[in-house]
Structure 1
Amino acid sequence: MVISLKDQVIAITRPLNQANQLVDLIRKYNGIPYVAPTIELRPCQNKKKILKILNRIFNTQIDYLIFKSVNAVFFFLSCLHSLHQKENFLKKLNKANIIAIGPKTNAELKNNGIMASLIPNKYNSEGIFETLKEKNLMGKIVVIPQPKKIRNSLAKKLRDFGAKVFTIPVYEITLPKDYFKVLTLIRDIINGKINIITFTSSSSAINLVRVARKNKLGIELRKSLNKCMIAVIGPVTQKTLENLGVKSNIIPKDYTIEAMINSLIKFLNQEREKD
């Protein structure tokens, strides 16, 4: 079996500072990476609101601190540092259970001197919930750092089981300030210059379509996306694309970029065998 992405132009829509690992994986298998971030991550500016939430937390014992991404770790600790609250908060973690959604988030915690006590078998929100629902959550204090304006189904489920959940908006997901690259990507997709497009989050797909619609290219983009191979991470991203009228071809069981590339190679090999 040939394991190769040779001659495949593969679009990367994740943030610029997170694209390198995917670029390296694509090049490793002789693919051609095309970097065009459709999202940008920025720290939340409403520090007063964050401090208000933190002050409420400081008055009680934290039972669970849940990190659902590397970004959540980075921006949460950066926020604590900028508010001069990092030392105070870390003291509150004496008896807390630290949960990392997966190995990369766990590694980011370790790099900051924080040890996770739990990583779910499934690297997603459902995996975290399946682990915690077996415990007595009534009255337990759960803290979840997260992006601004993102619906948190995990928080709702935990509240339904009696937990007191504090979500802290520590960063926001926006369009890149200069989205010329996004517009160029859209035109290249429409002109058939892209073979495969990767989406690692719902926001990356939504923003791509948003820019297309703003430039009256929405219908053409949707038609063209359905002629490309679409590789996504997670059922939420898949559902978002489905709602946008786009079918996903590759959805790995594990929610990692390595699993996505492996699934993509397997899919391509199957397609080649048909020929």
Structure 2
Amino acid sequence: MSPPPLAGYTIGVTAARRADELGALLERRGATVLYGPAIRIVPLADDTELLTATRSLLTEPPDIVVATTGIGFRGWVEAAEGWGLGEDLHAALEAATVLTRGPKAKGAVRAAGLVERWAPESESSAEVLDHLLATGVSGRRIAVQLHGEPLPDFVDALRGAGADVLEIPVYRWTAPADPAPLDRLLDAVLAGQVDALTFTSAPAAASVLRAAERRERLAELVDVLRCKVLVTCVGPITAGPLTRVGVPVVQPARARIGSLVRELAVALPARAVRVRAGTSTLELRGQAALVDGELRPVPPAPMAVLRALAASPGATLPRPVLGAVLRRHSGREDAVDEHAVETAVGRLRSALGSTALVQTVVKRGYRLAVPVS
């Protein structure tokens, strides 16, 4: 049987909520997962900002309510019940025109005993905004349930059209209580030990960039994310902080965790380097190689040598050149001697399960055993 599509790859998970679910889906497809929660969720019942916004809504009920996420809307209703404001909130929402951004928000609204008036086919905030502006909002009070971060473009456009907008900060984030796991994940990314990095919220993406900036390694991180690591985001809002600093991202067609994993399972193998060596086919994945379809884990230093050889299939790379490869890989400032190169090549042959795939060219160096046509 062929190995799973993500076997041999290491993937970083920055999510706080549903991190275990995302990690399990990735591991089911063969990935090694590193966790580094980039944010901490403020418990809704303890969130004084949400309580203040809810009381403002009850004092001056809205004409329109925009529900953006299912879990956020449910949490808001549950928090209001805990504060003894559940019935009052239900009455205010029932009297308003409720719009929902997607099916999960719609399900939460209906579970609360309410009925939405309209929902966009695209499940996007942009289409909700277009709908509101088209129907006219001047003089109307609109409550917008946020989904983890401010929506300045959305809110400013409504205010510019004459609406009185009340932002409901449901599902608010702060920095992680313990930054050590995130720091370890960033170290692994910068060391070339992570093949893909996943994001399920814009606050997490912004927090990762802030963490790197705090350590004075932001420029280095952005360079790595641009050139070496596949960055995947659950949707365009999540991708915002990354695209603003020039990091290319991959997104699924639907903003779902399952869709994100399926996108990764296609995109990562598509980036694999494939070469012929001897009578075998090699596919280089993260820290492993497929040799005729068999997954063979390869240690980091030998993998650096293999990638250098595969970048010039059939060409002989002198020992000093491979020594420079190992020096860059290890971050050493001093030169790597020939013995270290020979050791790395020996470990590479052992990892690949064959001595014939990497040939020694006497007094010159090493090459992949690429067939001569």
Shared topology, TM-score over 0.5? yes
User: How well do the aligned residues superpose, as a CA RMSD in angstroms?
Assistant: 2.9
Q: Specify the alignment match of 2:253 in structure 1.
A: 253
The amino acid of 1:177's aligned partner reads: A
Q: Specify the alignment match of 2:13 in structure 1.
A: 12
Q: Does 1:229 align with 2:230?
A: yes
**Residues in 2 aligned to 1:191 and 1:133: alpha-carbon distance in whole angstroms:** 48
Size of the aligned set, in residue pairs, is 270
Q: Specify the alignment match of 1:243 in structure 2.
A: 244
Q: Specify the alignment match of 2:34 in structure 1.
A: 34
Asked if structure 2 preserves the Cα contact closer than 8 Å seen for 1:38 and 1:175, the reply is: yes
Asked if structure 1 preserves the Cα contact closer than 8 Å seen for 2:50 and 2:168, the reply is: no
How far 1:119 sits from its partner (Å)?
2.5
**Residues in 2 aligned to 1:243 and 1:200: alpha-carbon distance in whole angstroms:** 17
Q: Specify the alignment match of 1:54 in structure 2.
A: 57
**Residues in 1 aligned to 2:68 and 2:201: alpha-carbon distance in whole angstroms:** 13
Q: Structure 1 pair 187/121, CA: closer, same or farther in 2 (3 Å)? A: same
The amino acid of 2:60's aligned partner reads: I
- What's the CA shift string for 1:83-116, capped at 9, x where partnerless? 3111111012334332222223333444444443
Higher Rg: 2
Q: What does residue range 84-233 of structure 1 map to in structure 2 within 5 Å?
A: 84-146=84-146, 150-226=150-226, 227-233=228-234
Q: Specify the alignment match of 2:364 in structure 1.
A: none
**Residues in 2 aligned to 1:153 and 1:255: alpha-carbon distance in whole angstroms:** 20
Q: Which runs of 5+ in 1 are unaligned?
A: none
- What's the CA shift string for 1:71-93, capped at 9, x where partnerless? 53144224322331111110123
Asked if structure 2 preserves the Cα contact closer than 8 Å seen for 1:122 and 1:254, the reply is: no
Q: Structure 1 pair 206/90, CA: closer, same or farther in 2 (3 Å)? A: same
**Residues in 1 aligned to 2:32 and 2:20: alpha-carbon distance in whole angstroms:** 13
Aligned-pair identity (%)? 21
**Residues in 2 aligned to 1:86 and 1:68: alpha-carbon distance in whole angstroms:** 19
Q: TM-score, normalised by structure 2?
A: 0.64
**Residues in 2 aligned to 1:149 and 1:104: alpha-carbon distance in whole angstroms:** 18
Q: Structure 1 pair 90/200, CA: closer, same or farther in 2 (3 Å)? A: same
Structure number with higher relative contact order (C-alpha < 8 Å, ≥ 6 residues apart)? 1
Q: Specify the alignment match of 2:296 in structure 1.
A: none
How far 1:51 sits from its partner (Å)?
5.0
Q: Structure 1 pair 135/12, CA: closer, same or farther in 2 (3 Å)? A: same
- What's the CA shift string for 1:26-49, capped at 9, x where partnerless? 233222332221011103324663
How far 1:263 sits from its partner (Å)?
2.5
Q: Which runs of 5+ in 2 are unaligned?
A: 276-373
Asked if structure 2 preserves the Cα contact closer than 8 Å seen for 1:196 and 1:231, the reply is: yes
How far 1:210 sits from its partner (Å)?
1.6
How far 1:147 sits from its partner (Å)?
6.1
How far 1:273 sits from its partner (Å)?
8.9
How far 1:189 sits from its partner (Å)?
0.8
